[in-house]
């Protein structure tokens, strides 16, 4: 009985990660109306002022708690629906239409904003530091030009899981076979400073009907880097029957509570030479659909699993402990970041044996399927 391995479910942090978080496409907020985004245990209000600036504040008015997301944009400011206090993007109350003066302490929680690659990013830090612009995700050349299709952007609410489940994917070689129906033929991780990267080459399984990674006619070369705790750029080269397409996938999230988050993903495709707009748009939609399906495959697992603080690993697994050590840096005060959290770490997964076993299993599945089809001829 003492040999039984126990699952340590641990306790999840009561704070939210420090770093840049993406709220969505900047253009979706640019209509002069207030927008509500749930995040960091509260509701945020996002609006574009008359001056064109995008602003993000805590959604609840510091006067009597009115819901600013139901207010009105007045000039550069957001007016509260309850008593019309006007708040500026710098977090200060600018005007109270019925009052002689504004109380000096009328300051609310504001978030610094940056528009990058057409997306609105905000800086979150429980310690209240100024935004660190040196660690913004890189600008993507030519994206947002007519060389790429426009971002196809989607969101999905995830309840019952901490967003670390999503991060774990970075080091999880074997789940690509079981969950995403692909053979990962090459798999490598590099964690360095505030970035964590997965390099993968994979090929779809011929015995499953999986979209995304799992199409047997497609081979993927993928480089996926997290820039900070929540924003990943995934550069994908998809070879479909010899036709190569460059796809960029953004995978990002906003934590909403201690065990819930809003997953967001966006896809843009480099328009292949010689194809008309309609065909390019069609290709982009197909990839959006199939990678969207890929996320749903993960979600089905997360919704049913438990949190594990002490994963038990075999020799073919990726560096989950080192990945989580890296992730930890965003959950401690800056003064408490230990060197090993940010020190560079490289890991190459041995995929040779795993692929041998998997190819044998797939061959067996195909033989079974062929035998079943031979026994029961298809209806005319």
Partner 1 sequence: MASFVPTSEETLEDLRHYTEDRLVDVACLDCLARVRVKKNSDHQTSVQWSAEARSACQEFVRRDQRPGGRDVHKPCTRLMASIDDAVRAGDVPVGAYDGY
- Positions that interact with ligand FES (CB under 6 A): 61, 63-66, 80, 82-85
Q: Are 58 and 78 in contact (CB under 8 A)?
A: no
Q: How many CA atoms lie within 13 A of 220 on its CB side?
A: 31
CB 96, CB 82: distance < 8 Å? no
Q: Which is nearer to Fe ion, 147 or 305 (CB)?
A: 305
Mark the segment that binds partner 1 (CB under 8 A) among 8-16, 68-76, 147-155, 369-377.
Answer: 8-16
Q: Which window, 1-9, 35-43, 99-107, 174-182, contacts partner 1 (CB under 8 A)?
A: 1-9
11 binds partner 1, rule: CB under 8 A:
yes
| 333 binding partner 1? (CB under 8 A) | yes
Buried-exposed string 323-360: b where 16+ CB fall within 10 A, e elsewhere:
bbbbbbbbbeeeeeeeeebbeebeeebebeebbeebee
Binding to partner 1 by residue 117, rule CB under 8 A? no
Q: Is 14 in the site for partner 1 (CB under 8 A)?
A: yes
> Closest separation between CB of residue 279 and partner 1, Å?
27
d(CA 135, CA 193): 10
Please report whether residue 8 would count as binding partner 1 according to CB under 8 A: yes
- Give the gyration radius of the chain's Cα atoms: 24
CB 60 within 8 A of CB 43: yes
Of 163-222, binders to partner 1 (CB under 8 A) are 164, 190, 192, 195, 197
Element (H, E) at 332: none
Task: Please identify the residue of the shown chain whose CB is closest to the bound Fe ion.
Answer: 298
59 binds, among partner 1, Fe ion, ligand FES, none (CB under 5 to 8 A by kind): none
Q: What is the DSSP string of 52-70?
A: S-EEEEESB-TTT--BGGG
Interface residues toward partner 1, by CB under 8 A: 6, 8-15, 126, 138, 164, 190, 192, 195, 197, 223, 225, 233, 235, 309-310, 312-315, 317, 319-322, 324-325, 328, 331-333, 339-340, 342-353
């Amino acid at each position: 009985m003492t040999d039984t391995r126990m699952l340590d479910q641990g306790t999840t942090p009561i704070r939210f990660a420090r770093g840049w978080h993406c709220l969505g496409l900047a253009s979706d907020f640019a209509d002069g109306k207030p927008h509500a985004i749930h995040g960091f245990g509260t509701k945020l209000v996002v609006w574009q002022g008359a001056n064109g600036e995008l602003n993000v504040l805590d959604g609840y008015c510091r006067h009597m708690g009115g819901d600013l997301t139901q207010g009105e944009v007045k000039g550069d400011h957001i007016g509260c629906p309850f008593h019309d206090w006007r708040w500026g993007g710098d977090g200060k109350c600018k005007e109270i239409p019925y009052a002689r003066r504004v109380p000096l302490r009328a300051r609310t929680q504001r978030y610094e904003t940056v528009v990058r690659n057409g997306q609105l990013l905000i800086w979150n830090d429980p310690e209240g530091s100024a935004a660190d612009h040196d660690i913004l995700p890189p600008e993507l050349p030519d994206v947002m030009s007519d060389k790429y299709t426009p971002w196809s952007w989607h969101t999905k609410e995830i309840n019952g899981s901490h967003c670390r489940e999503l991060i774990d994917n970075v080091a999880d070689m074997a789940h690509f076979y079981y969950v995403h129906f692909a053979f990962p033929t090459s798999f490598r991780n590099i964690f360095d400073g505030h970035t964590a990267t997965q390099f993968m080459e994979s090929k779809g399984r011929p015995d499953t009907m999986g979209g995304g990674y799992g199409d047997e006619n497609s081979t993927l070369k993928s480089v996926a880097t997290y820039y900070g705790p929540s924003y990943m750029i995934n550069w994908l080269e998809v070879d479909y029957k010899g036709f190569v397409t460059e796809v960029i996938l953004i995978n990002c999230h906003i934590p909403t509570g201690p065990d819930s988050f809003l997953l967001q993903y966006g896809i843009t495709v480099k328009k292949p030479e010689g194809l008309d707009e309609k065909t390019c748009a069609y290709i982009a939609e197909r990839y959006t659909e199939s990678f969207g399906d890929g996320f749903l495959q993960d979600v089905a697992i997360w919704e049913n699993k438990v949190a594990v603080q002490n994963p038990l690993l075999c020799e073919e697994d990726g560096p989950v402990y080192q990945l989580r050590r890296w992730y930890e840096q965003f959950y401690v005060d800056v003064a408490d970041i230990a060197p090993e959290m940010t020190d560079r770490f490289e890991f190459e997964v041995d995929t040779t044996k795993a692929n041998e076993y998997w190819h044998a299993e797939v061959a067996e599945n195909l033989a079974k399927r062929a035998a079943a089809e031979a026994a029961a001829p298809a209806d005319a």
